[in-house]
Structure 1
């Protein structure tokens, strides 16, 4: 199972929403609105049904609330809208509180939750830009509750960006700034999540057990469920599906009471994976289909990817080839989408860092210019030699600024190049390949040329990951790219399209030439097994070929025909080349 935070993060993020309430004394009378508001806030994840009832009661008495109490009620309404998944509505409410409430504590808490809102909706550039602003405001955040919420949510944002050490640092800051009357449930939970995402956590880790114990003691059911689902995921990673099943049975009643969608999906997915590992294919299929039913037809998520993987394996074991292939196609699509989302996350973080650097340099430049002007005023009354010294200092300052700006520009260009390449293999990524292929096909169409698209997929690649681990899987992908590059010419456009799938655009090439090239690549891969640390992994590929001679110059059609040919090659037994003109019985074997 992929050890990635996306299956856990939404639950952890929503657990964060609970961390802005201070436990209050029991409500004394209906006129103690301030105390009643505070106590209601503390019930959000401890007793959510009662929280909803109290909101209704507060709205009935809204006319008797003071202005500050009405803003507090709007904040609680915004929290509930976010909990129910109404992100557009809650975003508007949070922004109104930040801009107009005049309450710095409510504004800080709303900013922290707005950060979660943007991240959940995959608006990563806005989220990281807000994170930079919140980081800058930390030194002036004197309210302990607001500060604790800010550093907690910053920890989660850095965790999403894969910055594990920064995430742990901010989680520790959150623990050190817990307000009076609060527990360390949430800081312990976000630290465990950061350690998990950094592959530094096991099911027996002290940090994970501490998160479970503190959330149970605090009666934070949402936080407790997040921590235990994290533990269930680790049990699966460690090959202990029976423990995962026992844990899910234990927290089942709490999940049903809270009915929080990310937790429901995580629990169903873990059941599907556990049943699959235990050999109960029927129950695994039911649980995986339940995950699919919780999502829309166009959704992309880690839950869906893993659910399709379970269904593919179950149908494959049952001998249902057509169903298995259909689920595998869905799995590949989800895998591509998920990898793209991770890339967008990382790129958004890097872009926000670059923008912050430029702003810092601009501020530094203005400061230097002010110092230079003051120096000029004092030097006007001095001798010619002093004037020469001023000129020299001015030149040095300008040279320093120019050097700093040059470094920033060079760094920006480097990140731009990185955005076009696949981080693991160093060849073009999916997005840049598509745009480059579109451009080349338009040129070929204008000059009546020709081109062919080759789609390549490593056979049984998941078995390599399952047998030897993901580190060996990465070595296999890098080895495959090296072998293919040796067989290709510089004019060919070569890219990793996602997972173990690659694409090659051959320019000025006929269909027969493309078939010959594809056959040569197939043979080269089969004749180049991977050897690492005494282990030998034999490789083969399935290849689909599509030509502009038959499909025209529209890239989308070339891709469809090449993919269709690729899947015919897989159905025909793999390790072979199939062209867009081939039928099910007319395939070329690499043997």
Structure 2
């Protein structure tokens, strides 16, 4: 079947940075209306949080020394600032307690809204996605009733950020545009511009020369907003890397280094080192790439899972493998696999938490509306005489039964339609696409790739000696082997890739947005996973291996028939060369390259 999911945004340190810093600059609304000196001091301290963080910490300590002169509302404001600083320093449980205390008094004034927004980000940073997205859905529902300019601006900012993090770039971009339009008078447009850049990056609409990106860097630099400027600049580095503009990327990293080191903001520090490692690796400077990658590893703690660590271990593995250090290469590869799987698992959990929170909120709203409607009906019934009440109740019962019957038959019809649709497109044994549907979906996917000049790989996989398994152990065990092989293949593919059964023990895979080298890595990984995972059933251990042929669009074009011929020829070559190997069409003297490498030497 097609492993599909919504395109998720790379959970950059940049995005986490926006989560911490995406708060309104300037005075709290109550402070702006107050003439008290202490209120003015709080507003002044609040205003320098992102422009002069060291000064902010110093002023915050002075306010605590004079806490006895503060009013109740000012102490609440100070408590919010304490929570903000705790969140910045990574003391997340302490920060969450502070925000909850602020919200406990009121959550609909500007300070309460800010505390609510920061708590969303705090929960996200701690991996409590269900709570975070429950707050997000409730906040989105209250958007229309929020009239305070500062509070509305904050709410839009955090809705955009949270939806971007949940893999909803279109909605994130919508709220980012609303946020930019709602920027309060006299306030810098930098935060709104930065959030829009993050949303555009999540929807893959940015390039290194995008006007929005360059304008954001210029505006935030001019407004002395280093965190936002650094965040946008790190996105620029990533775009330059993806476009193979290594010299420009390295120059940007060197320009950014003093500013990021001065900010001491951990997510940006680790992302900067990761970018440096990837740049030097692509430039062929192994020593500098190793140094930067080791710097990333050193900055993290045991158990951390993030994209920077994933890149660092991949770079270290590639260097050690190229230098023939097999033992250390295997160790780095194992760390890379942990990071890769953890990263994908975290992204899936975020998306699932958002969907669950959204559905739960809708169900609650429908239930509330239903209760309200029932109350109105009851009040009306009480105004009627006994006969009218009896007639009305009878009518309601009849209508309910009719509606229930209609709903029941509609559900049955819909389930039958879905069942027929599934049977027509999927293989009854394995649950993946059947031959016809796999081919039709592949044609559509290749047409999309051709329009945007994307890369793709068609992989044909044939289980070795499968007929012997059927003849020796029976068809029931053979069916179990097929299901076992499909489960292993699914575990190595992304949701955007296509997987189908072409017939018997032969399977097809279309790897979308995958160049030939990466496709060979995926194919080899599948081969190794099959070899390393025998089927154990009824006391029997059935070893599984596969011959794999791969064809890429860069050599065979986007025509499916031509790709099929090339992949089939490569598969035939793999079987001819002894099975249990990967052969890539279009490489080598014989038109195909064979790959049968142990795990610790597999190319990334």
Bucket of the pairwise TM-score, normalised by the shorter protein: 0.7 to 0.9
Q: 2:535 aligns with which of 493, 506, 511?
A: 506
Is 2:311 the counterpart of 1:306? yes
For residues 247-280 of structure 1, what are the alpha-carbon distances to aligned partners after superposition, in whole Å with 9 as ceiling and x for unaligned? 1111211111110000000100000000111111
Q: Is the 8 A contact 2:326 2:601 kept in 1?
A: no
Give the TM-score, by structure 2 length.
Answer: 0.71
Q: Which residue of structure 2 aligns with residue 324 of structure 1?
A: 329
Aligned residue for 2:185, secondary structure, equals coil
What is the deviation of 1:393?
4.3
For residues 5-50 of structure 1, what are the alpha-carbon distances to aligned partners after superposition, in whole Å with 9 as ceiling and x for unaligned? 4343112222314x343499xx9xx972211211111111111111
In the alignment, the residues of structure 2 paired with residue 484 and residue 162 of structure 1 have an alpha-carbon distance, to the nearest angstrom, of 43
Q: Which residue of structure 2 aligns with residue 198 of structure 1?
A: 203
Q: 1:134 to 1:81 in 2, by over 3 A?
A: same
In the alignment, the residues of structure 2 paired with residue 105 and residue 404 of structure 1 have an alpha-carbon distance, to the nearest angstrom, of 46
Q: 1:497 aligns with which of 482, 486, 491?
A: 491
Which structure is higher in RCO with an 8 Å CA cutoff and minimum separation 6?
Answer: 2
For residues 427-460 of structure 1, what are the alpha-carbon distances to aligned partners after superposition, in whole Å with 9 as ceiling and x for unaligned? 899xxxxxxxxxxxxxxxxxxxxxxxxxxxxxxx
Q: 1:472 aligns with which of 443, 456, 459?
A: 456
RMSD of equivalent CA atoms: 3.9
What is the deviation of 1:317?
2.2
In the alignment, the residues of structure 2 paired with residue 70 and residue 15 of structure 1 have an alpha-carbon distance, to the nearest angstrom, of 22
In the alignment, the residues of structure 2 paired with residue 289 and residue 12 of structure 1 have an alpha-carbon distance, to the nearest angstrom, of 26
In the alignment, the residues of structure 2 paired with residue 366 and residue 23 of structure 1 have an alpha-carbon distance, to the nearest angstrom, of 38
Query: In terms of mean alpha carbon deviation, does 531-540 or 335-344 score higher?
Result: 531-540
In the alignment, the residues of structure 1 paired with residue 330 and residue 201 of structure 2 have an alpha-carbon distance, to the nearest angstrom, of 32
In the alignment, the residues of structure 2 paired with residue 56 and residue 396 of structure 1 have an alpha-carbon distance, to the nearest angstrom, of 68
What is the deviation of 1:226?
0.4
How many residues matched?
483
What is the deviation of 1:67?
1.7
Counting only pairs closer than 5 Å after superposition, residues 394-543 of structure 1 correspond to structure 2 as: 394-397=397-400, 472=456, 476=459, 489-490=479-480, 492-493=483-484, 494-495=487-488, 496-498=490-492, 500=522, 506-508=535-537, 514-515=542-543, 518-519=544-545, 522-523=546-547, 525-526=548-549, 532-533=558-559, 534=562, 536=566
Q: Which residue of structure 2 aligns with residue 34 of structure 1?
A: 39
Q: 1:390 to 1:210 in 2, by over 3 A?
A: farther
Q: Is the 8 A contact 2:536 2:542 kept in 1?
A: no
Q: Is the 8 A contact 1:118 1:127 kept in 2?
A: yes
For residues 521-565 of structure 1, what are the alpha-carbon distances to aligned partners after superposition, in whole Å with 9 as ceiling and x for unaligned? x13x3599997535556578979xxxxxxxxxxxxxxxxxxxxxx
In the alignment, the residues of structure 2 paired with residue 136 and residue 349 of structure 1 have an alpha-carbon distance, to the nearest angstrom, of 15
Q: 1:280 aligns with which of 285, 302, 307?
A: 285
In the alignment, the residues of structure 2 paired with residue 317 and residue 508 of structure 1 have an alpha-carbon distance, to the nearest angstrom, of 40
Q: 1:149 to 1:392 in 2, by over 3 A?
A: same
In the alignment, the residues of structure 2 paired with residue 408 and residue 65 of structure 1 have an alpha-carbon distance, to the nearest angstrom, of 62
In the alignment, the residues of structure 1 paired with residue 411 and residue 78 of structure 2 have an alpha-carbon distance, to the nearest angstrom, of 45
Q: Which residue of structure 2 aligns with residue 588 of structure 1?
A: none
What is the deviation of 1:237?
0.8
Is 2:382 the counterpart of 1:392? no
In the alignment, the residues of structure 1 paired with residue 159 and residue 371 of structure 2 have an alpha-carbon distance, to the nearest angstrom, of 29
In the alignment, the residues of structure 2 paired with residue 267 and residue 105 of structure 1 have an alpha-carbon distance, to the nearest angstrom, of 34
Q: Is the 8 A contact 1:23 1:42 kept in 2?
A: no
What is the deviation of 1:176?
1.6
Aligned residue for 1:497, secondary structure, equals helix
For residues 39-62 of structure 1, what are the alpha-carbon distances to aligned partners after superposition, in whole Å with 9 as ceiling and x for unaligned? 111111111111111111111211
Structure 1 unaligned blocks of 5 or more: 412-425, 430-464, 544-566, 575-591
In the alignment, the residues of structure 2 paired with residue 250 and residue 378 of structure 1 have an alpha-carbon distance, to the nearest angstrom, of 77
What is the deviation of 1:138?
1.6
Counting only pairs closer than 5 Å after superposition, residues 3-402 of structure 1 correspond to structure 2 as: 4-17=10-23, 19-22=24-27, 32-100=37-105, 104-377=109-382, 380=385, 391-397=394-400
Q: Is the 8 A contact 1:379 1:387 kept in 2?
A: no
Q: Which residue of structure 1 aligns with residue 511 of structure 2?
A: none
For residues 386-426 of structure 1, what are the alpha-carbon distances to aligned partners after superposition, in whole Å with 9 as ceiling and x for unaligned? 96576334543576589889999999xxxxxxxxxxxxxx9
Q: Which residue of structure 2 aligns with residue 582 of structure 1?
A: none
Q: 1:356 to 1:390 in 2, by over 3 A?
A: same
In the alignment, the residues of structure 2 paired with residue 83 and residue 139 of structure 1 have an alpha-carbon distance, to the nearest angstrom, of 30
Q: 1:572 to 1:20 in 2, by over 3 A?
A: closer
Q: Is the 8 A contact 1:226 1:263 kept in 2?
A: yes
What is the deviation of 1:364?
2.7
In the alignment, the residues of structure 2 paired with residue 87 and residue 483 of structure 1 have an alpha-carbon distance, to the nearest angstrom, of 53
Aligned residue for 2:49, secondary structure, equals coil
In the alignment, the residues of structure 2 paired with residue 342 and residue 428 of structure 1 have an alpha-carbon distance, to the nearest angstrom, of 25
In the alignment, the residues of structure 2 paired with residue 115 and residue 96 of structure 1 have an alpha-carbon distance, to the nearest angstrom, of 14
In the alignment, the residues of structure 2 paired with residue 481 and residue 199 of structure 1 have an alpha-carbon distance, to the nearest angstrom, of 35
In the alignment, the residues of structure 1 paired with residue 318 and residue 406 of structure 2 have an alpha-carbon distance, to the nearest angstrom, of 56
Structure 2 unaligned blocks of 5 or more: 1-7, 415-428, 433-448, 470-477, 494-521, 582-595
Q: 1:70 to 1:364 in 2, by over 3 A?
A: closer
In the alignment, the residues of structure 1 paired with residue 550 and residue 207 of structure 2 have an alpha-carbon distance, to the nearest angstrom, of 39
Q: Which residue of structure 2 aligns with residue 564 of structure 1?
A: none
Aligned residue for 2:491, secondary structure, equals strand
For residues 194-247 of structure 1, what are the alpha-carbon distances to aligned partners after superposition, in whole Å with 9 as ceiling and x for unaligned? 111111111111221222122112210111000001101111111112111111
Give the TM-score, by structure 1 length.
Answer: 0.73
Q: Is the 8 A contact 2:25 2:187 kept in 1?
A: no
Q: Is the 8 A contact 2:123 2:131 kept in 1?
A: yes
What is the deviation of 1:100?
2.6
In the alignment, the residues of structure 1 paired with residue 70 and residue 221 of structure 2 have an alpha-carbon distance, to the nearest angstrom, of 34
